[in-house]
Chain A
Amino acid sequence: MTTTTISNIRILSGAANCLIASLLLAGCGGKGGGTARKTTIQVKGSDTMVNVAQAWAEEYKKVSPGVAIEVSGGGSGVGIAALTKGTIDIATSSRNMKPEEIETAKKNTGKEPKEFIIGYDALGIYVHKDNPLTEITAEQIAQIYMEGGKVTKWSDIGVTIPGGAGDEIVRVSRQSSSGTYEFFREHILNKKDFKLGSRDMNGSKEVVDLVASTPTAIGYSGMGYNEPGKVKMLKVASKPGQPAVEPSVANTLDKSYPIARSLQVYSLGEPTGELKKYLEWSMSDAGQKILEACGYVPLPAAARTK
């Protein structure tokens, strides 16, 4: 019995060695520049854009099979942070890079981040489908979300939630420093802080899901996350007395919808080679069609690459 078990150990450790060796080989062989080596483009950043980045990656595989694209979310902050460290190729962001981040990037990598606008997004204000409200002013939204804001109940803005679900407004927000959160703070709350106690969701989709299951909730999330029949997007008026505007492609492009933003990607220095091709493709008609299918607002024809 002893001998057999000893040989078992030998076989086991032999197998383990083989595995390690083959893994290392796989790792090094790739690095060594074999013909089968794929170019990898690492994309990281905004949760708002992770879906469009993913759809591009999926589609680009058909356009250029030699390029593998890795997409991770986490937020605009994480993408830019990784770019300033030089660990990724493209950072997607739904906010602009801050001057100190550009400085850090220059210091760490010696290259200046270059910005490309690749589309637009309108931030939808979502409520439950049974909520009778159809339009809201920017000021009301601010009063709901802002620290010290006066609106805490639906009756404060003249709404009665059907079905006796309650009157307290359940505020659904995003976790701090997601691009969406910062954009919302800047354009709706005028850089004031959020009221504490909002449900800060991890992903844009979670916001819509929570609003869909909570009759008294209000939330904000990219237009692309709309799920008609479960939630309702409100029309937004920038000032009381002005007409409320529906979030749509046309209204975003002519800037009449008040909470719309550009979506940008950053690369370190001027992109070259496969990276350049990929970015050009994403800004071409083919790429923009995918972006539109994901629920975002594509670039106007003049801004696209051919």
Chain B
Amino acid sequence: MNSPRIPSATTGTESGSASRFTATPFVRKKERREAAAKWIFFSMAAAMVLPLLWLVSYIVVRAMPSLSLDFLLDPPLRGMTEGGIWPALVGTIYLIVVALAISTPIGVLAAIYLNEYARENWFHRVISMAVINLAGVPSIVHALFGLGAFVYAAQFGYSVISAALTLAIMTMPVVITSTREALASVPRSFREACWNVGATRWQTIKAVVLPNSVGGILTGIILEVSRTAGETAPIMFTGAVFYKAVERGDFFPYQLNDQCMALSMHLFALSTQVPGVKPSLPFATAVILLGVVLAVNATSITLRVWLRNRKKW
């Protein structure tokens, strides 16, 4: 090959001298291919983003007629064909709080064990595999488990607590994985320094590892909130109801052994079971659910970016 080569644009160091070469057909062909490749991949990335934007904006536009503060605060009215989503919203918050209260401590401690105590051996691999599988089990199998274990075997009945326990186990891998990442990002030298002054393992974790990874752990917990809010199948058979009479703006309508409404379940019910619903109502419910989930995620992402920028090592 006798054709001179132009340096790739990415290296950039000799771009000044590139003009000395004249592009041969071979080089031009290469350039064209390169540009084409870039556009192909770009369009594929765009094909992923654009439907999202289109769908979200479509849903929001369809939901417009129903979106208002009253929609948030009112219970469903007139046979669920009008009114708002208050009981479902509160129910979802209940489920999140209870599920989080159960899964966060266990998940964080499990991650501490995996990252700080466990040795790299077969047992460690088995646990990691279990975490991966726990995350991979279909949500409907979690529902079967929740029904068999909590509703029947533990005799919690159909209740907030059964549903929250099911959700907690289902979303635990999220906490474990993100906490492990956060813990692993603390440099080993920090721990060694601490051990060298005579601290025990737990003292090291408490004084050095956790304070330096609390932000990362927090992002994981926030992500878990979004998972918990969106799940439907696991709560359908363990504690979510079609309807419960709740006053407008009542903050404490449920108890742990009551069943509750939930946003995700409400959306399912509105779109499959209630006749004569105002057309914008299910869309508005979808917007609120989507809004809650995306807002929570955005918080988590912002926190992560902020922490990364602040990180000093």
**Residue positions of A touching B, CB distance < 8 A:** 1-2, 5-6, 8-9, 12, 16, 19-20, 23-24, 26-27, 30-31, 40, 42, 47, 50-51, 53-55, 57-58, 60-61, 68-73, 82, 87-88, 201-206, 208, 224-225, 227, 294-295
Contact = CB atoms under 8 A, between A and B. Distances in A.
B242 interface: yes
A203 B212 contact: no
A204 B275 contact: yes
B243 A54 contact: yes
Nearest to B159: A87
B242 A54 contact: yes
Contacts of A58: 75-79, 243, 245
Given A202-B272, A205-B273, A224-B275, A9 B214 contact: yes
Interface in B245-286: 245-247, 252-253, 255-259, 269, 272-276
A9 B247 CA distance: 36
Interface of B: 75-80, 97-98, 101, 104, 157-158, 207-208, 210-212, 214, 218, 240-247, 252-253, 255-259, 269, 272-276
SS class, residues of chain A in contact with chain B: helix
Nearest to A37: B255
B211 A204 contact: no
B272 A203 contact: yes
Contacts of A206: 272-273
**Which of B157, B256, B273 neighbours the largest number of chain A CB atoms within 10 Å of its CB?**
B273
SS class, residues of chain B in contact with chain A: loop
Given A203-B272, A205-B273, A71 B242 contact: yes
A69 B245 contact: yes
B79 A23 contact: no
Given A54-B76, A70-B259, 15 more contacts: A1-B211, A9-B214, A24-B256, A26-B255, A54-B80, A57-B245, A58-B78, A68-B244, A69-B244, A70-B241, A88-B158, A202-B272, A204-B275, A206-B272, A206-B273
B245 A16 contact: no
Contact of A51 (B158, B218, B274): B274
B245 A87 contact: no
Given A26-B252, A68-B244, A294-B79, A2 B211 contact: yes
Contact of A16 (B80, B104, B256): B104
A224 B274 CA distance: 10
Given A2-B211, A60-B245, A70-B243, A82 B273 contact: no
B289 to A, nearest CB: 19
A87 B157 CA distance: 6
B207 A202 contact: no
A227 B75 CA distance: 24
Given A57-B243, A204-B275, A42 B101 contact: no
27 contacts: A5-B211, A5-B214, A19-B101, A23-B256, A26-B252, A27-B255, A27-B256, A31-B257, A50-B243, A51-B79, A51-B273, A51-B275, A54-B242, A54-B243, A58-B76, A61-B245, A69-B245, A71-B241, A71-B243, A72-B241, A73-B269, A82-B158, A87-B158, A205-B272, A205-B275, A206-B273, A227-B275
Contacts of B246: 68
Given A69-B244, A205-B272, A55 B79 contact: yes
A52 to B, nearest CB: 8
Nearest to A78: B237
Contacts of B255: 26-27, 30-31
Nearest to B252: A26
A58 B78 CA distance: 8
A258 B252 CA distance: 48
Given A54-B79, A58-B79, A72 B101 contact: no
Given A9-B214, A40-B258, A294-B79, A225 B243 contact: no
Contacts of A53: 243
B258 A70 contact: yes
B97 A5 contact: no
B259 A202 contact: no
A179 to B, nearest CB: 14
A2 B207 contact: yes
B101 A16 contact: yes
Contacts of A205: 272-275
Contact of A6 (B75, B77, B211, B218): B211
Contacts of B258: 40, 70
